[in-house]
Every structure is written in C-alpha cells, then in structure tokens.
Amino acid sequence: MWYLEKIKTSTMIKSVHILLLILFCVVACQSPDSNKQVDSTSAIINESAKTRLDSTLQTLVDSGKVVGISALIFEKGKEVYFNAVGFADREANTPMDRSTIVRIYSMTKPITGSALMKLHEQGAFQLDDPISKYAPEFADMKVFTGVDASGKILTEPAKRPITIRDITRHTAGFANQDHPELGPMVASADVMNFQNTLAQMAQKLATLPLAFHPGDQWAYGISVDVQAYLVEKISGQPFDKYVRENILDRLGMSTTRYVVPETDMGRFAAVYRRSDDPAPLSRVPDENANAFNTKDWPLKPGGFGFTSTIDDYMRFARMLVNKGTLDNETILKEETVKLMATNHLSDSVKERMWLPGKGQVGFGIDFAVRVRPPATKEENNGVVGEFFWDGAASTLFWVDPKNELTAVLFVQIMPFDGSLHKKFRDAVYGAYKPEVMAEAAK
C-alpha cells in the first residue's frame, strides 16, 4: 500500500500548490485602488486629524473669520477628508458644498506653468532661453536706476536678457503699480486691461523699464501672464484653447474656466471683505467680484482668472502627486513634475518681497517649494519637499509627495488672509513639534 500513500501525498502537495497559485492571482489581480488602503496607524489624516479639521473649519465660521469654507484631502490615492461649513452666499442662504464654484485667482498660475512645461518637455524651448527668442518685443530691456533732479526716470541696459526661467520663478524684474517711481508708468500703460489680448499686454509691458536686473530679486507679478503669451507664441494656439485641450479637458476639469455661465451662477460663491474692526464680514458687490468671470474678455491671463470647484482642482493636485498622471492620462512626464517642484531660486537672491512669509521655502516653476522644516511654531506647518500655492481670495492647495497627500482649501475672503492657512495646516499635521518635523525632513 506504500504506493497509495505516495499518490495521496503527491495529490495533497499539488492541491496546496494550486491554492497558493489562486491566492497569488487574487492579490496580483487586485485593482490599483485596492492596494492603496491608508494605514490608519501611520496615516496623516487619522481620526484625530479629522476631529481637528472639523473643529477648525467650524471655529473659523463661528468666529466670523469666514462666511463659508470647504476642505478636501486625498492621501495615498484615497479621499480621506471632506467637509464644508457655512455659506457660499450668506445673503442667498446658499450653503458651501462640493458644487460651489470659487475664484481661484493665483491658483491659476500652476495650471499655466503646466501648460508651458508641456511644450518644454516636447523640446520647444529651454528654460534659459531668452524670452525675446519667441517674443522679440522683450529684447534690449532697460532697468530703472533712479530719477534725476527734474523727476525724469533714469535707466540702463539690462545686464542680461530675461529668460523663461526668470518668468517661471518671478525673477524677471517686471515692475508693478506699487513701485514708488515706476508705479505711475505701470498704471498709465494699463497692461492688464481686460480688453487687451495677450499680445497687446506683452507689447505694452515691454515698453516699461524693469524694476531690477533679471535674476537679482524675487518679485511677484505679471510673469505668469507672459508665460501664457509664450504658450500662444510657441504652440501657435490661443492660450485658453491650448490649456483647455492639453490640461483641463484631459483631467476632466470641466468647471475650471474663465467664464461662469448663467446656468451655474447659483453655485458661484460670493466674495467677502474682512477688516481690522470686529464688524461682520462685508460682501463685495457682485458687479465688482464677478467683473472678470461673467464676460468673455479678450484677455486670457495666465496669472489669474480661472474659477473652479474643489473636486476639479483636486484632480489637478492629484495629477501632480502622481508624478504627472491621473486615471491613465499622462499630462506631464515624471521628470517634468520633479523639475517644476525643485527650488530654482539661488541663495544669492536676497530680496524676496513677501515670499519668506510663506515659510522655509524657495520657488520652483509656479510653485513655492518647501526646503526646510518650520523653524518656529508661528510658521506654516508642512513637510520638506512639498510644493504649493494660493490665491488672492485666500484659497490654498499643496502637494506633499512624502506622504502622498494633496489638500485643497476653498474660501472667498479678501484681502488675503494667511492665518487661515496656518490654522488649516496645523489641523492637518498636528501641533508643531520640532522633533517630529525634523524626523519628517529625513
């Protein structure tokens, strides 16, 4: 009977092998999402974080700091938090929710940068090319040096051309209306009049002296609108058409647009103005708040102008944290996203306007890039390697590659209130602890 025992043993071994093979196939054939379960013991957005976030949003509304606020967070490919508190339109009693449309202002800039960098990865230009190679009106720029006894503006030739890298990191030198001497010239040129096309904007801008030599300082301003103009010049398409076809439509961002149609006006949030006194937030008149977004103006800016919903903008953020791809749509190459999220601001650039107020950051291609952990508890919380930007009405988003986390915060409060971002970041990451942040930086 020994041979019968041998047959039984062989049969059992084969059965075990078959079972193991089946188990292997089940694991291997799981969908990508099923492998992205967030470990609740190590997740950033755990139950404590959710409690902090709920409390923070509610407190901001209850205290009168905001009228309405919403927040959406993804971690490791999964939605881990959403909440909306208060009103999108207090006077109409319209609650803030996922369908609310807001003005994202300068959160338009990273979308423009992505459109430009698609052309870069196709070999259409190099970052250190002078912009005059594609837009000749910017050749032979002059730089402000002072005024003479009669008040006449004095200039000298720029030490070097403005490069594409300069306009992606705000070191081009373009003056704004706040400049004590050049301000009146900038105002008179009316560069950003909504009736201007991008080409007309560029022609007017190129006639103005620069406030400083290219590369010498960081000064926020019109550079990203020049990026939009270069997209037109290099691609041969209108900027709005190019960004729609190559970024927005491919990501399914249907509510990210310049013009809000009449059918969606009921979802369009009101804008509220804060002041230093304890009076309630006052509503900005709709004719002012909506001036740009209810008419198809000739100007298609790269630096502001888009409206969006929180889910729409999260798709853009998730594409970035996924290294350029979302739902099998590759918008940017992995190396392009890495280049954009790398600090391009040399330590020799000492004058940085208000950028240090964002924390321990440098600047990449249309993003601030965190280069060091917070130095004090008063600074914005965050993880080294994150990249982010915000908008004039106090909106915010960031991408945290280390934790595979993306966050979008929507409010409509002006003037810009960075204290909201501090509170939101602390709610996400917890109270500032130097040892924790130092460990996170490793």
Q: Look at residue 16 in the predicted model and tell me its pLDDT.
A: 41
Q: Look at residue 439 in the predicted model and tell me its pLDDT.
A: 59
Average pLDDT of the chain is 91
- Give residue-wise pLDDT tens across range 407-442: 999 999 999 999 999 999 999 999 877 655 555 555
Report, as an integer, the average pLDDT of 21-30: 43
pLDDT at 24 over 90: no
Q: Are 161 and 139 in contact (CB under 8 A)?
A: yes
- Give residue-wise pLDDT tens across range 250-301: 999 999 999 999 999 999 999 999 987 777 899 999 999 999 999 999 999 9
Closest among 385, 340, 346 to 168, alpha carbons compared: 340
Q: Look at residue 23 in the predicted model and tell me its pLDDT.
A: 44
**Domain boundaries of the chain, sorted by first residue:** 47-117+238-440, 127-224
Closest among 133, 141, 364 to 234, alpha carbons compared: 133
What class has domain 47-117+238-440?
A: alpha beta
pLDDT at 12 over 90: no
pLDDT at 22 over 80: no
Q: Look at residue 329 in the predicted model and tell me its pLDDT.
A: 97
Q: Look at residue 146 in the predicted model and tell me its pLDDT.
A: 95
Closest among 234, 188, 214, 204 to 137, alpha carbons compared: 204
- Give residue-wise pLDDT tens across range 55-100: 999 999 999 999 999 999 999 999 999 999 999 999 999 999 999 9
- Give residue-wise pLDDT tens across range 113-156: 999 999 999 999 999 999 999 999 999 999 999 999 998 999 99
Q: Are 142 and 158 in contact (CB under 8 A)?
A: yes
What is d(CA 277, CA 266) in angstroms, rounded to the nearest whole number? 30
Predicted TM-score (pTM) above 0.85 = yes
Q: Are 45 and 75 in contact (CB under 8 A)?
A: yes
Secondary element (H or E) of residue 389:
strand 387-390
Confidence of residue 29 (pLDDT cuts 50, 70, 90): very low
Q: Look at residue 275 in the predicted model and tell me its pLDDT.
A: 86
pLDDT at 164 over 50: yes
Q: Look at residue 435 in the predicted model and tell me its pLDDT.
A: 58
What is d(CA 374, CA 124) in angstroms, rounded to the nearest whole number? 38
Q: Look at residue 431 in the predicted model and tell me its pLDDT.
A: 82
Report, as an integer, the average pLDDT of 350-366: 96
Confidence of residue 2 (pLDDT cuts 50, 70, 90): very low
Distances (CA, A) of 351 to 131, 220, 347, 355, 409: 23, 11, 10, 9, 29
What is the percentage of the chain residues whose pLDDT exceeds 90? 86
Q: Look at residue 433 in the predicted model and tell me its pLDDT.
A: 73
Confidence of residue 41 (pLDDT cuts 50, 70, 90): low
Report, as an integer, the average pLDDT of 377-396: 96
Q: Are 370 and 389 in contact (CB under 8 A)?
A: no
